[in-house]
Amino acid sequence: MAEPQAHISGLAELLDAHLEWLVVRENGRTLPFLRSEIEIENSNGKTRLSFVDDKGLGTWRIDQVEIEGDELVAQLSSKIRNESESIRFVPRESANELRANIELARLEKANEIAKIFASSEPDSKLLRISLNVENGRIAQIEIEDRDKKRSGLMADVTASLTHESLLASALKWQDHLIGRRKNPIRQVAIVAEKRQARNLQKLLALLNKGASESISIYEIDRKGAMPAAKELRRVKMRDLWRLRAAKLKLPQTIEPTETAAKIIEMSPEKIDRIVSKNGETLRFLGMPFARVRMVMGREKAWFGIGPIRTPVSESAKRAFKELRDALDLHRRADPPNKRHDWYRLASEAWLESTLRRNIQLLDANLILSPIYNQFRSSNDKIDLLAIRKDGRLVIIEIKTAPDRELILQAADYWRKIELQRRRGVLAEANLFGEMKIIDKPALIYTVAPALSFHYDFEYFARTLAPEIELWRWELHEDWRREIKVVGRVRFT
């Protein structure tokens, strides 16, 4: 039974009981902290808690504290983030036990997958089953056949990884295994459930022969009495163009609603609009802050950053203006505090919205689709789709932080766009007005601040098939102030 803590200000003393804590967020994310890394401040009758998470330094007001055995549960709220959540403080001793249980569950899953593979390949012998040191969600298994030839198996034991992430890990692991002095391994198989395996099969076809020939894909078939691992055939790129192209769902009109138009008029140089099947989302330099929907034939609008939203109404005009003014203060190149959430969050969307307004800041030969790039029907959407003045399509992927999967993610988008181009889907949609799309494969432009490309970028760029032309566009680090290209490299 949880006991309420009468004095919230006593949280500091409760935390002092242990040198190390594990913070468990509502979304399941866990963050380890030393006691010295958690700040408690009491002022004006209020107690505030501060710690650094993946969004930077966050400061929360403590509304309530409860004790559950050795654990502490704090109810927090933040006016700046417009959020509230309950977080749990687990002492390091309990945290170690929690991590051990998680690791044990993952190892059990790894053993299950290893046994499924071994039963499907009766001449194989299991030598080693472990979890990846850097990413505990990946199982690494070594096997040996009757000829004493070793190979590696890799699997996602949490069903949470993307196929791009899994293939990237397999390529890097194979690169490590082949380089070991003792018992080098040349072949690595990825064992996955049906959907993930089929996505991996198509993604593998986008790699060059040198990179793809050392990787094989096995699908776990659970239809029979006992699950089995069956190897999927190795497809070639030309096989991909026989698949059915996804339909292109575009809005009936690109004109904003009356409500959206009025909001955009407040800062037309900073506010843009993204359309989805559920309505319109308005962004202030990439930061979503207002939404417009049609409800029973009438326009309804809400504003707010985060899960708490306020209906737009006459009585809320002042609060809406205060939000817009606060965004204008913090969402700029020279804010009063660069650690503020509204400056740091959604940085990729900020860069994307800037380029969407004037893509020629990146390349004077580019023309953006006025329809495609403002319509987001799902998370599986490229950042920007453009056409060069010579009629060649360009897929633009934007990052503001190092991302190892950038190349493979961009290649997967390239496959989908290229299939639509070859099937005439994009031409029928008239995405670029009078501009005609020429019969040449689309280009990929990866765009990021110069120091924000992952150190493995070139490694993965060299794994792509020669049919995929990739460009790396490096921007000046102070891109919020001015978009300036400082370098570009072509990979083919």
Which tops the pLDDT comparison, 67 or 173? 173
The answer to whether residue 338 sits within a structural domain is yes
Same domain, 215 and 250: no
Is the Cβ–Cβ distance between 95 and 320 less than 8 Å?
Answer: no
Same domain, 271 and 407: yes
pLDDT over 70 at 250, yes or no:
yes
What pLDDT, on the 0 to 100 scale, is given for residue 2? 40
The answer to whether residue 23 sits within a structural domain is yes
* Domain of 175, in residue numbers: 121-235
What pLDDT, on the 0 to 100 scale, is given for residue 33? 85
Same domain, 207 and 272: no
What pLDDT, on the 0 to 100 scale, is given for residue 43? 73
What pLDDT, on the 0 to 100 scale, is given for residue 271? 94
What pLDDT, on the 0 to 100 scale, is given for residue 374? 60
Same domain, 33 and 86: yes
The answer to whether residue 59 sits within a structural domain is yes
What pLDDT, on the 0 to 100 scale, is given for residue 375? 59
What pLDDT, on the 0 to 100 scale, is given for residue 378? 46
Q: State which of 197, 217, 235 marks the end of a domain.
A: 235
Same domain, 193 and 58: no
Same domain, 173 and 75: no
The answer to whether residue 240 sits within a structural domain is no
What pLDDT, on the 0 to 100 scale, is given for residue 275? 84
Same domain, 206 and 250: no
Q: What is the pLDDT of residues 318-362, one digit of tens each?
A: 899 999 999 999 999 999 999 888 998 899 999 999 999 999 999
SS (H, E, C) 268-296: CCCEEEEEECCEEEEEECCEEEEEEEEEC
d(CA 165, CA 406): 9
pLDDT over 60 at 280, yes or no:
yes
Same domain, 264 and 212: no
What pLDDT, on the 0 to 100 scale, is given for residue 172? 96
Specify the number of domains making up the chain: 3
The answer to whether residue 272 sits within a structural domain is yes
The answer to whether residue 398 sits within a structural domain is yes
The answer to whether residue 254 sits within a structural domain is yes
Q: What is the pLDDT of residues 184-243, one digit of tens each?
A: 999 999 999 999 999 999 999 999 999 999 999 999 999 888 899 999 999 999 999 999
Same domain, 295 and 196: no
Same domain, 300 and 231: no
* Average pLDDT value for the chain: 88
Q: Model-level pTM greater than 0.95? A: no
pLDDT over 80 at 376, yes or no:
no
pLDDT over 70 at 110, yes or no:
yes
Same domain, 277 and 229: no
d(CA 249, CA 404): 30
The answer to whether residue 103 sits within a structural domain is no
Could you tell me the CATH number of the domain that includes residue 32?
2.70.180
Q: State which of 185, 213, 235 marks the end of a domain.
A: 235
Is the Cβ–Cβ distance between 344 and 350 less than 8 Å?
Answer: no
Is the Cβ–Cβ distance between 292 and 276 less than 8 Å?
Answer: no
Which tops the pLDDT comparison, 378 or 14? 14
Q: What is the pLDDT of residues 338-348, one digit of tens each?
A: 988 899 889 99
Same domain, 88 and 154: no
